[in-house]
Amino acid sequence: MTPTYMATESKILKMKTALEQALDNEEFVLYYQPQINLETAKVSGVEALVRWNHPQLGLISPDKFITVAEKTDLINRLGRWVLNRACRENQAWQNLGFPLMTISINLSPFQLQDPNFKDMVKQILEQSELPPTCLELEITEEAILAHPEMTHQTLVNLKQLGVYLSLDDFGSGYSCLNYLSRLPFGTVKIAQSCIKNLTNDYHNISLVSVILAVGKTLDIRVVAEGVETQQQLETLKNLHCREMQGYYFTQPLTSEEITKFFSLYER
Ligand code: C2E
Ligand code: MG
Ligand code: MG
Ligand code: MG
């Protein structure tokens, strides 16, 4: 064992204990980012994004702790918390009189390998009394690549619950069109990296056009992610992209803030 390896190991163990405590102390929070349908000018969905609200350090982004949670098996416990909170929050918004909407949560590839995952989703939907069509599970291409056969079966099983499935960050990796036609995805999200240089990069414009065309042919909803500028919005509109998400509309918001956003947008 090299000294660096040992240092990393002990760092991971420390972080694991901290994450466990954070789960016990309910230090995680969900932020919500709306997806806007430009045609109807309405919110078409909301993505839940987890943060760790550390008592001393403040809000910590998921990029800083998801990997450790995955390495230490805590991801299933954290994932369960996220799912439960997102379903309950969505139900609460409906009880406040906001229209039925779909909430998306992000799944780690590790969650898909948990044989109890489907039963857990079923149980949480029942307990929160949320219709399955009000829940969407976002999966990245990496998750499929890691275990193609098993993931395929898991996705088919999950689809049977009536939830929606979304392919996240499409266009950032291999962008295998095969997945879109063979797996039961209802949504594909165009990766931020494609949108970033959209206005001056012909390669990205072609890629986005292809994704939109495939979405249309297969009747899959296409959402552009990470839309920040008016210029990106105009380019996407010209390519007939209808649904978008990004800082141009708003950063991810707290539950309280997003209900205010809903009220503004509906009027
Ligand atoms: P993602 O699912 O692709 O989420 C989009 C990320 O882009 C979010 O970062 C969001 O805050 C950010 N974003 C949104 N609009 C814009 C924009 O216009 N410009 C830019 N530059 N960024 C924008 P966040 O919240 O830090 O999450 C990062 C990643 O962490 C997510 O990527 C997702 O893969 C993962 N993640 C977040 N929440 C969860 C969770 O509950 N469970 C799991 N397993 N992973 C999660
Ligand atoms: Mg996502
Ligand atoms: Mg994404
Ligand atoms: Mg991502």
Give 211-262 pLDDT, tens digit per residue.
999 999 999 999 999 999 999 999 999 999 999 999 999 999 999 999 999 9
Q: pLDDT category, 161, cuts 50, 70, 90? A: very high
At 197 the three-state DSSP class reads: coil
Domain 3-265 fold is: TIM Barrel (3.20.20)
In the reported structure, the alpha carbon of residue 168 is separated from the centroid of ligand 2 by a whole-number distance in angstroms of: 5
Pairing of strands 243-244, 221-224: parallel
User: Which of 36, 82, 106, 223 has most ligand 1 atoms within 8 Å of CB, for mutation?
Assistant: 106
120 C-alpha vs ligand 3 centroid, how far in Å? 24
Residue whose CA is at the smallest distance from ligand 1 atom 10:
252
| Residues 94-103, mean pLDDT to the nearest whole number | 95
Mean pLDDT (the chain) is 94
Residues within 6 Å of ligand 1 by CB = 33, 49-50, 61-63, 66, 82, 105-108, 138, 168-169, 192, 226-228, 246-247, 252
Is a pLDDT exceeding 70 seen at residue 183?
A: yes
pLDDT over 60 at 3, yes or no: no
Q: Using the predicted structure, report yes or no on whether residue 177 has a pLDDT greater than 80.
A: yes
3-state SS assignment for residue 245: coil
What burial class does residue 44 get, using C-beta atoms within 10 Å of its C-beta: 0-12 exposed, 13-18 middle, 19+ buried? buried
CB distance 137 to 165 below 8 Å: yes
Chain position carrying tokens 């309280």? 256
- Residues 151 and 144 sit within 8 Å (Cβ to Cβ): yes
Examine the pLDDT at 7 and tell me if it is beyond 80: no
In 3D space, the residue among 183, 187, 173 whose CA is nearest the CA of residue 241 turns out to be 187
